[in-house]
Amino acid sequence: MDWYQVARNVLRAELVRHGVSYRQLAELLADVGVSETERSIANKLSRGSFSFAFYLQCMRALGRTDFRIDLTDVI
C-alpha cells in the first residue's frame, strides 16, 4: 500500500471537487495566513508527503468546516 499516493489522491480529489488549481490554492492559503507557492504545492502533491497540518490548512482555505475521509476502498 502506497500511503503517499493515497494522501495525494485524497487532496487532489478535494481540489478537483472545488475546481481549484494549485495557483488558486496558493492564493487561498495566503488568505488564511499560510505562505505556499504554486510550485511548493505541486511538489508536495507530487510526492504525497505533506503533513496533516498542511491538509487541514488546505481544507480551511477551501472553506471546508468539516470533512470525512473514507478509506474503505484503500485497504
User: Quick check: 59 and 14 in contact, CB under 8 A?
Assistant: yes
Single-letter residue type at 14: E
Over residues 64-69, the mean pLDDT reads 86
pLDDT tens, residue by residue, 8-43: 999 999 999 999 999 999 999 999 999 999 999 999
User: Quick check: 50 and 44 in contact, CB under 8 A?
Assistant: yes
Which residue, 12, 1, 2, 11, is CA-closest to 51? 11
Residue 64, classed as helix, strand or coil, is coil
Distance CA 75, CA 67 (A): 20
**What pLDDT sits at residue 75?**
58
User: Quick check: 35 and 54 in contact, CB under 8 A?
Assistant: no
Residue 57 pLDDT greater than 70, yes or no: yes
**What pLDDT sits at residue 2?**
86
Residue 74 pLDDT greater than 80, yes or no: no
Share of the chain above pLDDT 70, in %: 99
